[in-house]
Structure formats: structure tokens, C-alpha cells
Structure 1
């Protein structure tokens, strides 16, 4: 197998994740650890204030009967109180179990029953009703605490009179091998499984990121580093952002929604210095910026600026890799001019101080990565799974290779099997699945974990992900196709929101395509046409021709046997609420195929 690896960091010999809260408060009590949003203002929380809140909540949990090793579910959007509960539970050796706030009652029942959770923290009344609807099937569940009804204050009050020493006694019993959390996989195929992630897994991941990308996180001049977590804390990526920020003394703000309409005003007021994002955020912001320029009569200017940004970033990339001289005088001059006219405005959307971004969760196109780098925000794309405690690879500081997911993080090794599958090993790889630690045995060999993803390593050790083994399409003629790259190329068209290729045991490849409603409205307005409702749009000949162009452009990159021969436009996007997306916004392929079985059948009827 072809391998790529990075030297390991010293592993923590003792202790758990909560230790950093108490150590930081002792060492730097006035350090601003968090900022909490109150309307348009952000109120600072120092390290000593956070420690005191964590300690007080931990005492209340002890009074309510939570003990070392107990599992407590947390069902909420991303907010400060979630982080508070995480560290309070870790302080007494308990195990938080995240539940996605969009989870259906049956999913909640399954997770709480399998984990034998003895209590559940919920955000609001709707979540309480969801848990309440299935609590009869949960004999271990003894309490439900609702954040919007003062759960933190109530538990804190309960803990008055409990000595600090009782919490510290519990905390000192936590070791790197202790289970820190049970995170359920996103479940793009099959039923989600609970991954047992240890305190050592999270510490190794956070320390690897802080050691390898510390210069990226702290590239903010005289301003103290600050980031915002808006990814779900029920997802391993959001959880790692939280842990790394606390361990690294980086100011952290919380925002509970991924929609750009909500997120952009929050970033403008918070003004982070770097971000962790998923590609969806970049795709939407780029699209909205282009549409705004076109509506203002500056569409050609934006297109020229985008072309210059890509060219400039590509030239800098080649210079960093030792394969070119970098941008020439004319290109530098053009880039400087567009920076004043276009790029500064784009950076202002992110608050004006972001210069570096870590990106993961799904694939980001090379062109989009180059565009944002050219606009002054370098994107360091990475790759990982729940089972690897998030990133196992990331593009190295100063040497990103756009279109790849980078090299192994410190302590990790990546290899490519004979069938193209990506194998990994290192201190961040999980210990097994809940109630069946050996279920991962089929995916392991001599310390290696088989990811189920397909990829390749280039001559510099950079990894490129090409698809999922389980998502391979095998047509009736025996042709194999990893659909992800083809789908991404269709999605590159501004009108396309999502694309799902199908074709298993069929004579050719077809696709289900959804449209971006805002982009469609902009497209119709630019042509002086009346707005169309979703159902009318499906029958619009001009729109169908435009999407056919996007499909044809994508088809030029593959053989005819791999090309999309037919497609069906759908009236609305695949959504989390329908159960068609994972919380990191990946397509749940089988769920979509099942729901749209009739539409797929019609694609092959003729």
C-alpha cells in the first residue's frame, strides 16, 4: 500500500479534557475564553468565570445523581450551554451523548435506549415533547432538563454546599483512555452507529491541530485569535472546534444556525479571525456575492475579479510547492486593483478579519478554494470521519494544494489499499462501536482502520478523495462509477443546489437534480421573466435547457459509459427535515432513492 504519514506528538499521560479548564483558569484567569451573544452584543467570559460555571454545574449534576461513567444525552442546537454541560459532565467523569436537534422521535428513542442514558438535556419545549413521547420505552431515563427553562440555573442552585473536592475527586479519576462521548455516525447508508471516542482521542486531535496549524489560527496580528462554532456540536467536527479552542486558549463564540441569512450578521458582529466551515457555506456566499454583483450591474467586474483571484492563487500555490515563480507583475497589479473593488467587500461579509479557514465535512471544488484564497482567505481543506475524531488529514500551512484534502495531521498515517480504499491509523482513531466494540473488526487490521472512502495519494503525500465504496454505481453493463466527482461538477452550475446520480443495475447513469430557489429567482429576473413556482419551473423548457448544459459540461470529464444520460428536476431541495441530509449536509443516498423511487423508475421507462 502507498503510505503518507506525519511524526506523532507526545501523548497525554494522564488526565481528561476538563483538566484544561481548571489549568487555564489557574494559569491565565483573565483570558477571554468565550463570548456570549446578547442581542447585537457579545459578552466576554473569562477562563476563571467559565471554570466557576463548570464547577457549579458539575456539583448540581452530582446532587441529581449523575456519577462517573453515566451517560447523559444532550439534544440542542449549538450554544454556550452545550459546551458548559460537556465540561461539567467531563469534570465528574460522566459521558455526554449528543443528539441532533432535528432527530425524529424514533431516532431519539434508539440513541437513548442503546446508550442507556439516565438523563437528557434538551433545548426547548419541542425537544422535551420529542423525548417525552418515547420515555415510556426508556426505563433508564430519570430526568429531562430544559435549557430554555433555566436548567443551568436550577442545577447550579442545587449544587450549593457541595465541596469542590468532590468534583475534583471525580475528575482526577478520568484518564486518556476513558470514554469522553458517544457520537453517532451521520448514517449516509444504514443505521447510525455509536462511536466510542476517548478523552485521549480528542486531546490528540486538538493538540495535533494546535501544533500543526497554530500559525494559521493565530495569524491575526495584534488581535487575539477568535473563532465561531456554528457547526452542530452533535457532529464530531463541531465538537473538535470546541475542544481545540478551550485547549488552545482561543476565544470561542457560538451560533446555532448554518443558514447564511442568519450566520452572516452574526459573523459581522463577532468578527472572527479564522473559521472552521463546511463547503456549503463557501458555495452559498460565493453564489450570493455573484448574484449581488450582477443585480448591481457589476457582473462582468465580479467575473473578471474571480478569474484573477483563481489565477493569482494558483500561481502562489505553484510557487509554494517549488514549481513556479508565483504571480507576475501584471497579475499582481490586477489583483491589487480587484482587492480594493471586490475582495475587501467579500472579506467584510465574514467580519473583515478572517484570513484563514479550515474546511471539511465534504469536498470543496478546487476552483472555489482558489477563488477564496485569491480573495484573501486561504482555505485549508481537510478530511476525517467520526471514527477518526474529525480531521486525519489537512492541507499544511503555507502549502495548500487546492482540490486535495492535504497530508496526514501529526501522528496520523494514511494508506491506499489495492482497491483504492483509504486506510488510516493514529491516536485519533476510535476504540470501537457502542455495545459491539468488535464490530469495527472487519474494518481494522494491525492498527489500521478502513474508512470506506476511495482516494489517491500524489507524489507529495497529499490525499484526494474520489468517493465512497458503498456508493459505487455498477450499471447493468458492469461499468463502475464513483458518483461524487460527477455530482460535484453538475453542482458547480449556479442554478443547481444538489445532484444525486443513480444507475445501479440500470443500463446507464441518470440523476436527480434540485434547484436553488434564490438562484432561480435571480436567473429569471436577469432575463426579464416572471417568477415561477417550483412545480411550474419543472416544465420550463428554457430552464431545462440550461440544466442540460450543466449536465453536458460535467459529462465532458468522464467517458460516455459514465455520463449522465437522463435527469429529473425535483420541486424542492433535499433537506434535514425530510431526513435526506446528514447534519453535515451530505446526501443520505438510500433515503433519497427510496423516497423518489417512482421518479427514478420514470427515468428508465423509455
Structure 2
């Protein structure tokens, strides 16, 4: 058993035997039962000789048990987001050399791409609602030593990199968060998909280390559709029903909660700590949330650092910043860019050149004050981060849209926005219906978070100051132009 799970089992031994550790709409696991459930699932995985698994399932007790059991059995696990396209999921499975897939139900287009020649799936007895399926043999990709989890981000391009983390790295972050937040026996409701590293580490491990209870709701129960859609009544209903003390939200979910509060929704008095992260959060949104009584605290992190690097907290908060650097982190600022020296990830899957890196270059331009609070000013590169926390390379989407003579010029914008917008050239020869048909065709090939759901045609006069002498887009000027354009509409 790993040292980190020994720590968790020690926490379990100090809790009332009938106190709830994990719960969902189907089952409850008490603190007395938790070690038993983990060990039972771990033994079943070991009995199959499994070395690497992927997990694709709804937020649930079973998801958490499989995740913890993989650590107990020293099995490499890849959490797969359900909003991945079949191509992205296949890329993750092949890149990581995955042998077995554990799932509840797969997106409709996945089986044909992922398991065309696989033997039938079987029930995973230790879970009750999950199935396990052996995948066609693949060559095992190189992994750095001590790799226990591979997290694939939402994918700034069609083929995201796999970030390798050890179990110790994940629990180090969780322990640091537990000390920083300072709540004992919290009741946490997981709103973000567990395949997202932030919810996995901060939403499961941290509350458990504090002797708390973690409740899981399905996407429908908590009002989430895909990676970027929200059923507001369902979301508010879930929060009201379960009366959590802690939540993790993206800026877009915070916008939903703030808007609802302005329209008369009363947040439950149980709420003590709402962490917001995953993308830039507008200061005005944070101010509105605070004025409405929402206990919101902004944070900042990277998958390569095990998720959270900085966080505002109940005891130490400075509005307008992304929080104070966590105790376990060592950072510096070089030429305005935040550099994380510790902790750092083990490396990327199949890329030994990344395994001995001495630091992580965040790509974020920041200021760091004497008390250790960081303020984020922007990104060094072109990567867009939507208000749902999804990473998108604009060039990825643009390359598809420019694959037709219909468009001569196209720049995708939407950093910090719930959806992407394409700025295109104004060509009277093409009707709006024809353009929309082309956008629909391209969007069908993209995951929902990367689709350009709106387009705006600009005249040649509008384009000229936004381009370099050789016609390349000046993206910072275009983002400013788009911001001005939308603010006046």
C-alpha cells in the first residue's frame, strides 16, 4: 500500500464508523467501509494482471473507488472526459498504451472507434454499475518512473498531451489544500467532471483528508450538458438539495450562480467555500458574487503541477489576485512569466526528453507580490481558455474553417468567454445560409467546447489594422477589438 493511502486509511480509523465518506443517489460508503471497498476493487484489478486502465464514467462513488483502488494496486490510470471526441479518446488510449477500459456507458460514437475488435465487456463486481473491457493489444508507451495517473487536458488541439503524475504528487497538493482551506469534516458536492484533475484532487482527496463527505451527482442531476452547457434549474436544485459546504466551479458556473442570485435564488447557508478556477475570472464577477453572499475564492493551477498552485482562502484572501502560492510550491517570475520549480510533473507520455525538466513554464504573465499572492495578466501564447476552463488552440479551429473557398480570412476569439466566435472576411458573394452550413459542417468535427458557435463578418477596412504587413493576425489587437465590439452590442 502506498504511503498516501496509509494516510487516508489512518484518517478513516479516526472517523465515526457510520459517518459517510462517499455518497451518490445509489449508494453510501461509510468511513468504516471505505478501506474495504478500496481493497476489494484493488484485488479484482490485480487478479486480471492489469497494469494500465482508462476510466470513463459519470461522477459517482464507483468512479472514486476505482480511482483510489488503482493507486492501492499501483496501476496507472487515465481518466477520460466524456466530452472527448472519439478521435481524442482513441489518441489518449493509444498514447498511454491502455490495456483495459472501465466505463458505465460510452458516448455513442466511441465503441466503433475504440473497441471494434475487443471482447465483450463484463461487470466490474466491486463497483455494481461499471463494466470492464479488455482492449486490443497496443504497444506500451514509455512512461516516467513512478507514474500513477495520466491526465489528458481538454485538448488545445485535437491531440492533447498526457501529463504524468505520481500518487505522492497528487496527495501533496490535496494535503496543502486541506491545510490552506482549513475546514474540518466538509461536505463537498462535485460539480465538475471527475476526469478533470482539479475536481479529482481537490474535490475527492482534499475533503477525505479532512474527514469530510464527498457527494457525487450525475451530469443530468447537477445540470451539466457536455463540457459547456448548463441546465440552470437542475444545477441550483442539486446545490439546494445537498446543502454542500464546499464547491469547485469554473467562471462560467460562477456566472450562472451569480445571475441566479440576482434573480432571487437564495444560496444555501451551508456554503462556506466556493473555489473558482480553470480559467480567468473577471474581477467584476468576483465582486458581484461577494456582494450576493457567495463565499467565492479564486485560485490558479496547472495540470503539470498536480492542479492547484495558488489559492485565496478563508484566512488569507486578497481579492483581485489568483491567490497565495500554496505552501508546497516553489515559484519564480522570469521576464514576467510564472515559473514553477516545485512541484513539477514527471513528464509527458512517450516523451523522455520531458522527464528531467527542472521547472514548469506556465506561459502565464503574472506579478508576484512580497506576500506570495499572484495576479494573472494574460498568456504568453495564443491559447484560448473558455469560461468553462477548456483549452483551445485557435489555429486548430481556424484550420478547419479555412478548408473551404468560402473563407479567405478567419480568426477565432473567445478567451474567457462561454463560446468561441470566428471573425471572418465580409464576402457578399456568400449567403449567410451557405456560411452557416459550412460552420455546421466544421463544428460537427469538433468537440463541443471547441466549436465556433457564432461568426462576425468584418470589412476590409476593419481588418487592416488587425493584420501585420504580411497579413498575419495580430491576435492581441483582435482580442481587444472583439472585446470592444461585443461590449457595444
> What TM-score do you get using the length of structure 1 for normalisation?
0.59
- Are 2:282 and 1:365 aligned? yes
SS of equivalent residue, structure 2 residue 340? strand
Counterpart pick for 1:397 among 289, 314, 317: 314
Q: Distance in 2 between matches of 1:250 and 1:514?
A: 33
Counterpart selection for 1:30 from 18, 31, 46? 18
Pick the aligned partner of 1:226 from 187, 210, 214: 187
Per-residue CA deviation, residues 87-131 of structure 1 (Å, 9 max, x unaligned), is: 12222111111111122221121111111111101221546x613
Q: Could you say if the C-alpha distance between residues 577 and 398 of structure 1 is closer, same or farther in structure 2, counting changes exceeding 3 Å?
A: farther
Matches within 5 A, 1:559-570: none
Distance 1:454 1:65 in 2: 46
**Equivalent residue for 2:110, pick from 99, 106, 130:** 130
Q: 1:213 aligns with which of 176, 181, 188?
A: 181
Measure the CA separation in 1 of the matches of 2:21 and 2:261: 33
SS in 2 for 1:178: coil
Equivalents in 2 of 1:277, 1:439: separation in Å? 31
Distance 1:144 1:111 in 2: 20
Matches within 5 A, 1:159-238: 178-189=146-157, 191-214=159-182, 217-218=183-184, 224-238=185-199
Q: 1:84 to 1:247 in 2, by over 3 A?
A: same
- Partner secondary structure for residue 286 of structure 2: helix
Unaligned runs of 5+ in 2: 132-144, 225-229, 389-393, 399-407, 420-431, 465-489
When residues 437 and 16 of structure 1 are mapped into structure 2, their CA distance, relative to the original with a 3 A threshold, is farther
Q: Give the superposition deviation at 1:76.
A: 1.7
Distance 1:155 1:77, change over 3 A: closer
- Single out whichever of 113-122 and 249-258 deviates more from structure 2: 249-258
Kindly state the Cα deviation for residue 514 of structure 1 after the two structures are TM-superposed.
Answer: 12
The partner residue of 1:58 within 33, 42, 45 is 42
Matches of 2:365 and 2:282, distance apart in 1: 17
Task: Quote how far apart the aligned CAs of 1:605 are.
Answer: 6.7
> Alignment partner of 1:209: what SS?
helix
Q: Rate the CA distance shift 1:112–1:510 in 2: closer, same or farther, 3 A.
A: closer
Q: Residues 357 and 379 of structure 1 are in contact (CA less than 8 Å); yes or no, is this contact kept in structure 2?
A: yes
Shift of 1:81: 1.1
Aligned equivalents of 1:286, 1:578: Cα separation in 2: 30
Residue aligning to 2:339 = 423
For the 8 Å contact 1:124–1:146, the answer to whether it is kept is: no
* Aligned match for 1:74, one of 41, 45, 55: 55
Residue 134 of structure 1 and its aligned partner are, at CA, apart by 2.9
Query: Could you report, residue by residue, the CA deviation over 1:429-481 in whole angstroms, capped at 9, with x for unpaired residues?
Result: 2111111132376xx4xx32111122222454321112221118xxxxxxxxx
8 Å CA contact 2:104, 2:129 repeated in 1: no
1:466 aligns with 2:374: no
Please report how far the alpha carbon of residue 233 of structure 1 lies from its aligned counterpart in structure 2 after TM superposition.
Answer: 1.2
Residues 33 and 46 of structure 1 are in contact (CA less than 8 Å); yes or no, is this contact kept in structure 2? yes
Who is 1:448 aligned against? 359
Are positions 1:245 and 2:218 aligned together? no
Instruction: Name the CA shift for 1:514/1:183 in 2 (closer, same or farther; >3 Å).
Output: closer
Any conservation in 2 of the 1:34–1:45 contact (CA below 8 Å)?
A: yes
Give yes or no for contact 2:12–2:211 (8 Å, CA) kept in 1: no
Worse-superposed segment, 183-192 or 203-212: 183-192
Give the direction of change, closer, same or farther, for the CA distance of 1:155–1:450 in structure 2 (3 Å limit): closer
Q: Is structure 2 residue 31 aligned with structure 1 residue 47?
A: yes
- Once the two structures are TM-superposed, the CA of residue 398 in structure 1 deviates from its matched residue by 3.0
Change in 2 beyond 3 A, CA 1:600/1:409: farther
* Higher RCO (C-alpha 8 Å, min separation 6): 1
Which string of whole-angstrom CA distances, capped at 9 and with x for unpartnered residues, describes residues 260-281 of structure 1? 3322211111111122221111
Task: Decide whether the 8 Å contact of 1:89 with 1:95 is kept in 2.
Answer: yes
Is residue 96–residue 180 contact of structure 1 (8 Å, CA) maintained in 2?
Answer: yes
* Structure number with larger C-alpha Rg: 1
Deviations 1:498-528 (A, max 9, x none): xx9999xx999996799999xxxxxxxxxxx
Partner residue of 1:91? 72
Structure 1 residue 413, shift from structure 2 partner? 2.3
CA distance in 2, matches of 1:516, 1:391: 22
More helix by percentage? 1
8 A contact 2:251–2:278 mirrored in 1: yes
Specify which of 237, 242, 261 is matched with residue 270 of structure 1.
Answer: 242
Q: CA deviation at 1:47?
A: 1.1
Distance across 2 between alignment mates of 1:467 and 1:285: 25
The answer (yes or no) to whether the contact 1:359–1:382 under 8 Å persists in 2 is yes
- Following superposition, the deviation at residue 382 of structure 1 comes to 0.8
Does the aligned pair in 1 maintain the 2:82–2:107 contact within 8 Å?
no
Partner of 1:10: none
Aligned-residue Cα RMSD (Å) equals 4.1
TM-score norm. by structure 2 comes to 0.72
From the superposition, tell whether residues 511 and 73 of structure 1 become closer, same or farther in structure 2 (CA, over 3 Å): closer
CA contact (8 A) 1:452 1:468 kept: yes
Q: Distance in 1 between matches of 2:2 and 2:40?
A: 20
The answer to whether the Cα contact below 8 Å between 1:423 and 1:448 also exists between their aligned partners in 2 is: yes
Q: Is the 8 A contact 2:186 2:210 kept in 1?
A: no
